[in-house]
């Protein structure tokens, strides 16, 4: 459902992504691991359509459509979701109000009428339970004064409400205590089905114990240095990225 071919991206003249190839089918969960600054968030942002990134080569198809041509809000309405590494605060805008605006924006795009108030209420409560979120969070302003963990949980909550076809989770596990980590993983697992795809960016193989990926990729210096099964994550945990820090040929030899 998501096909990335030979993607090259520069930021302020510097090439951050240097030819990414990645194909994720419906129902699949792919994990991306890699050192700080290797380009993981850049990839996530380019998929979501954030400004400031220049695609110099390559293409990204989402359900067969050219994703790079669409403005970010259209990508979202097409069913693409990004759980942010650093969710931003929007003072004075109630979480609930924001979510309703988002749900209705997507519905409008699909030619559906605004969500029925009762239906929305039911959905919200069902999803709140899923991520064990407190009701008081609905009235609070979007992410304002939320703890690091609460912000991440709120991202998963929004994802659960919006029910995208494809979700990118950028370090959603960072800063979570062990209980919160399980809650977030449960939330993601509950959404896993034969149609929905996930790209999970993480530094810790621990998350992958809970969200078991189909494929693990190692992103180093803007390239996918290696792809493999879940065990690759364990291996990385032990050995770190030192082996990959040279040119890609070395990495392949090292792994052989």
The answer to whether 84 contacts another protein (rule: CB under 8 A) is yes
Pairing of strands 166-170, 80-83: parallel
Closest separation between CB of residue 229 and Mg ion, Å?
24
The rounded distance, in Å, linking the Cα atoms of 244 and 248 is: 7
57, 68, 123, 162: which one contacts another protein (CB under 8 A)? 162
Q: If contact means CB under 5 to 8 A according to the sort of partner, which of another protein, Mg ion, ligand ATP, none does residue 39 touch?
A: ligand ATP
* Stretch of 32-40, 80-88, 126-134, 221-229 contacting another protein, by CB under 8 A: 80-88
* Stretch of 98-106, 116-124, 192-200, 207-215 contacting another protein, by CB under 8 A: 98-106
Residue 8 CA to its chain's centroid (Å): 19
- Residue 176, CA atoms < 13 Å, CB-side half-sphere: 25
**How far, CA to CA in Å, does 28 sit from each of 41, 113, 167, 185?**
20, 31, 11, 15
Within 10 angstroms of residue 252's Cβ, the number of other Cβ atoms is 12
The answer to whether 92 contacts another protein (rule: CB under 8 A) is yes
Nearest residue to 92 via CA among 143, 26, 165? 143
Q: If contact means CB under 5 to 8 A according to the sort of partner, which of Mg ion, ligand ATP, another protein, none does residue 110 touch?
A: none
35, 58, 72, 248: which one contacts another protein (CB under 8 A)? 72
The answer to whether 81 contacts another protein (rule: CB under 8 A) is yes
């Amino acid at each position: 459902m998501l096909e990335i071919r030979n993607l090259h991206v520069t930021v302020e003249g510097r090439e951050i992504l240097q030819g990414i190839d990645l194909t994720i089918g419906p129902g699949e969960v792919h994990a991306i691991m890699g050192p700080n600054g290797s380009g993981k968030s850049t990839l996530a942002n380019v998929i979501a359509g954030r400004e400031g990134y220049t695609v110099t080569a390559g293409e990204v198809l989402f359900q067969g459509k050219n994703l790079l041509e669409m403005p970010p809000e259209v990508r979202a309405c097409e069913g693409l979701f990004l759980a942010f590494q650093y969710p931003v605060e929007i003072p004075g805008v109630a979480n609930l109000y924001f979510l309703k605006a988002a749900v209705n924006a997507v519905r409008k795009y699909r030619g559906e009428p605004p969500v029925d108030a009762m239906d929305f209420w039911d959905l919200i409560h069902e999803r709140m339970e899923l991520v064990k979120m407190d009701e008081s969070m609905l009235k609070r302003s979007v992410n304002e004064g939320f703890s690091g963990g609460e912000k991440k949980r709120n991202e998963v909550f929004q994802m659960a409400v919006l029910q995208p076809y494809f979700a990118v989770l950028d370090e959603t596990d960072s800063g979570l205590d062990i209980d919160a980590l399980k809650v977030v993983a449960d939330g993601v697992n509950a959404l896993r089905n034969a149609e929905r795809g996930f790209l999970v960016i993480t530094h810790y193989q621990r998350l992958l114990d809970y969200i078991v990926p189909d494929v693990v990729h190692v992103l180093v210096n803007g390239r996918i240095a290696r792809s493999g099964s879940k065990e690759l994550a364990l291996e990385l945990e032990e050995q770190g990225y030192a082996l990959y820090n040279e040119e890609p040929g070395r990495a392949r030899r090292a792994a052989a």
